[in-house]
Structure 1
């Protein structure tokens, strides 16, 4: 029997005796109490917009929104406002695949090459052996976020064909199926598998298989008109003590390469329908997806580390990834959840099936800590026998963690920088090429030296000198992870200046070689 099946059986037996399993919801959606939590999070973290909804026993028992589509412009967020749900798209992609499995068009253990003959990995054996299920559970052996520079920052000109081709050049971090490392690119491949098996482009397929049958009428993916659809929240970043729009949408929202991994936008109402479907499906939703496939999506497939925070905050003993969902125990209660993060947008879907309860959080600003604290306080209202701990309590714990972070995990001080001169970099100027990322130039620009990536126009910045090192200062402030630049022989390497920067800035996977002079 495969190890993942043993894990699934073991966990199902474990859940059977966990305290609280099968208990009815404890009706903690006291409007006044939740309003106070909402208000404190919204105020403490200076959010431009926040939407929160709670489902109990298949019913929406709480729904509230605050803030603006664009801070300062007066257009209020409501329950129909569209937010980027980011990686909460992944569970919609796996639901689409599950529908195809139900229809007999696909099997979870199909080789990926059955549907994408050109699919390759750095190790040819891995490419041949990888199954559809492997695309969904972050076990590829690649470093977390490997190749994500083909997805972000947007806009860029990488295609899904580029990603499938580029995977063959990304060197593994560990052996195949030996551990968990978060992987967006495999979900792009999964979307193409779904398209091949379902006979329609991914965007049309997820509309047909998920949005339409579940009545998620506002959800959007692919190309659409912001003007015609209307009521679309814009992402923000914090600058000078205020929220500033970042990467704002044009009139037409284009289809993007990363749609199957994180390209869906939905409203709070839509996401509450999505949540209710999993917790207490009605007859129509039961017909939408079989019980067998519902169980498959929530079965532990890949063990995940149980963090110090999970042990101390939640008394967790177990953590695993299913098909597009994270699974864990909190105070002996089974939790199914996922988060979504894109520049200036944060989402969370959290479900406690034993309690018949779940909730949705949507934020259009820098809301990582806000999302964590709000999720934690709400979860504890259902799982903890003691009085629920406060927003201030969990916010304080996060502040203490940040203060205790080792120097090696903190961003270095780069304030004493100066612009690099053409003369000192003259021997290294030229055109460089990485086998999966493509070409970049390191060339003179007036009296400065500028790095430009040919397929990713936002990765364009002036080289700085910081002590004995070179640093690229990106021109667009939305690219919020500066890069060290190391030049050795005929090669060029990049690395994150801040070790805590988003792993999707996977500079460390680049290996540029000089291929010619500056154009």
Structure 2
């Protein structure tokens, strides 16, 4: 399979021009690397804005500059490009599917065409940054059940978000934890003293024996799917299995949902899938239980009874201005409600018993406000402490596939950036029968993507992955540009004192460090560059010195570096501490342990 050409702006100008021409005449796509180090952030943003203005024009305006056969440029709209078939004069293969109904393996980015297929009714996508919703687009028909209604959905259109509701149950738990109303390691029995679970395994149950030993199930277990509680309790018993079609993995499509007493009884009777803390077992029931517990926690503090829906409205929806979010479809929201061709699910009341697991309605605009405060804990509407944000965005279980991890509600996916470095996307997806959703957040690069869909087609990740592939390089470039502007350069002070800081392959490096004529890299690192590790505080870093004998051993990874941080102090400061300060619009690098301030030259 062919790949998209990577063009480095570090190359000579003539080579860049040649590579751009070749890529434009062949595949039609290319990726600029080192963009942020060469092009000011303002220019990049202006380019995005001008592009947005053009594509927001009415279709008839865009078609005035339709591509002519004898010209290279011009408007063409979305098409499918198979890079395996573009070598012969740039010919295009517009076939959208292969013979088995799947997508070609060539590069394809066509949300408009994908959304127009019969298995999709509507789609809204959005990209979010630290300053809020940056871009969104709607496709299909808002009211797919009404052939006379041709309105297109937008960022304010309301969808059922299914299991994305679980993200808000977790967020509310953190909010109450920050207020001191509960702890993540509180057992369920703190809130429901009579709670019990089947402590025995299935082998014991089927043999008619049981165990009375009760290992605690905590709020952390519930939010991370590590409680061992099965997917949906009480489970349906279908004795005609496997000679039948069974809807797998969906909440009851009939809208008849079991209530608390039934669920508590089933948890007490059925064995856990696995003992707590063994491995994640996806559990709608576990998140229902989490919602009940945090509601009780609030009631214990306030002395006032409150529903889960009102709790989320009070602590999240109202503070963030999420006016399109709720747990019931009311008359005032009907005009903005996205309806699939079969619209029954829009009317379901999942009840207090299941709202925390999957009962929420929301829009791209509303979800963007939540993503924004998770990206930026210093936002004036921030709901959580920085401490909680750091705790939340961490994996709790690593699967052996080297691709996925699980966290507190998160379905964590690994991917690579343009430098081959690992990037983690903290995601939550949701699926009902006709509503599908996904939210993915990359805190390191400072952006997230949102997908809301209606229809039979259920793979929201198809769009998420393509949006990430499209937008991630731009955020990489912006981060690189800001990092270079703030920290990179040659820093000197009086005497034989010089530190050189460079950004290479997406990493901040010290490539030269001479202090009072003493070559520190030669002595301490084996004469190899030393990475600067952010402490999580702005403009504060530690030098990853490591151990010279181990630094070049690839089997050791990061181990030599993190075990050697903070070795000792000099002048009452750690010897591996580097600080950057803005003094009167001029940046200064301070090395406190040697008592020297460096200026950039």
- TM-score, normalized by length of structure 2? 0.52
Counterpart among 129, 144, 151 of residue 70 in structure 1: 144
Which protein, 1 or 2, shows the higher relative CO under an 8 Å CA cutoff with sep ≥ 6? 1
Distance 1:58 1:75, change over 3 A: same
Please, which of 28, 38, 52 is the counterpart of residue 111 of structure 2?
38
Aligned to 1:347: 437
Asked whether the 8 Å contact 2:160–2:346 carries over to 1, the reply is no
CA–CA separation in structure 2 for the residues paired with 1:75 and 1:46:
17
Residue 238 (structure 2) pairs with residue 165 (structure 1): no
1:168-187 alignment runs, 5 A limit:
168-187=268-287
* Residue of structure 2 in register with 1:245 after alignment: 342
State the shift of 1:215 in Å.
1.4
* Equivalent in 278, 285, 307 of residue 201 of structure 1: 307
Q: Does the residue aligned with 1:355 lie in a helix, a strand or coil?
A: coil
1:146-295 to 2 correspondences below 5 Å: 147=234, 152-199=252-299, 200-221=306-327, 224=328, 226-233=330-337, 236=340, 244-250=341-347, 253=349, 255-286=351-382, 288-295=383-390
Alpha carbons of structure 1 residues 333 and 230: separation in structure 2 relative to 1, 3 Å: same
After TM superposition, the structure 1 = structure 2 runs for residues 110-509 of structure 1, keeping only pairs within 5 Å, are 110-123=186-199, 127-145=214-232, 147=234, 152-199=252-299, 200-221=306-327, 224=328, 226-233=330-337, 236=340, 244-250=341-347, 253=349, 255-286=351-382, 288-306=383-401, 317-331=402-416, 332-369=422-459, 371-383=460-472
- C-alpha distance in structure 2 between counterparts of 1:93 and 1:107, whole Å: 14
Relative to structure 1, is the Cα distance of residues 326 and 125 closer, same or farther in structure 2, using a 3 angstrom cutoff?
farther
Q: Deviations over 1:393-444 (max 9, x none)?
A: xxxxxxxxxxxxxxxxxxxxxxxxxxxxxxxxxxxxxxxxxxxxxxxxxxxx
State the 1:47 CA deviation. Answer: 1.8
Hey, what's the Cα distance between the residues in 1 that align with 2:132 and 2:343?
Answer: 35
Give the C-alpha shift of residue 365 in structure 1. Answer: 0.8
Contact 1:318–1:328 under 8 Å retained in 2: yes
| Structure 2: runs of 5 or more not aligned | 1-32, 57-76, 79-109, 200-210, 237-249, 300-305, 417-421, 475-601
Distance 1:366 1:198, change over 3 A: same
Q: C-alpha offsets along residues 8-30 of structure 1, whole Å, 9 cap, x if unaligned?
A: xxxxxxxxxxx99x999987966
The answer (yes or no) to whether the contact 2:225–2:282 under 8 Å persists in 1 is yes
Q: Which moved more, 1:98-107 or 1:41-50?
A: 41-50
Alpha carbons of 1:39 and 1:202: their partners in 2 closer, same or farther (altered >3 Å)?
same
- Write the distance in 1 (CA, Å) between the matches of 2:122 and 2:156: 13
CA distance in 2, matches of 1:144, 1:248: 20
Q: What's the counterpart of residue 539 of structure 2? A: none
Other structure's SS at 1:376 match: helix
Q: State how far apart, in whole Å, the 2-side matches of 1:257 and 1:337 are.
A: 24
How far apart, CA to CA, are the structure 2 residues paired with 1:319 and 1:197?
Answer: 32
Q: Is the 8 A contact 2:339 2:346 kept in 1?
A: no
5+ long unaligned stretches in structure 1: 1-18, 237-243, 307-316, 386-519
In the alignment, the residues of structure 2 paired with residue 196 and residue 344 of structure 1 have an alpha-carbon distance, to the nearest angstrom, of: 32
Task: Tell me the distance in 2 between the aligned counterparts of 1:139 and 1:184.
Answer: 12
Q: Would you say how many aligned residue pairs link Structure 1 and Structure 2?
A: 344
Pair 1:355–1:382, CA change in 2 (3 A)? farther
What TM-score comes out, normalization by structure 1 length? Answer: 0.60
* 2:128 corresponds to which of 42, 55, 61: 55
User: How big is the shift at 1:182?
Assistant: 0.7
Q: Is the 8 A contact 1:333 1:383 kept in 2?
A: no
Task: Give the drift of 1:289.
Answer: 0.9
Q: What's the offset of the Cα at 1:129?
A: 1.1
CA RMSD of aligned residues (A): 3.2
Aligned to 1:96: 172
Query: Considering only CA atoms, is the larger Rg found in Structure 1 or Structure 2?
Result: 2
The verdict on how the C-alpha distance between 1:235 and 1:145 changes in structure 2, with shifts beyond 3 A counting, is: farther
What is the aligned partner in structure 1 of residue 548 from structure 2? none
Structure 1 residues 139 and 129: CA distance shift in structure 2, 3 A = same
Measure how far apart 1:81 and its partner are.
1.8
C-alpha distance after superposition, 1:352-386 (max 9, x if no partner): 222212111111112223x232111111224579x
- Measure, in 2, the Cα distance between the counterparts of 1:356 and 1:33: 25
Cα contact 2:185–2:220 (8 A) shared by 1: yes
Distance (Å, rounded) in 2 between the aligned partners of 1:211 and 1:125:
42
Please state whether the residue corresponding to 1:350 is helix, strand or coil. Answer: strand
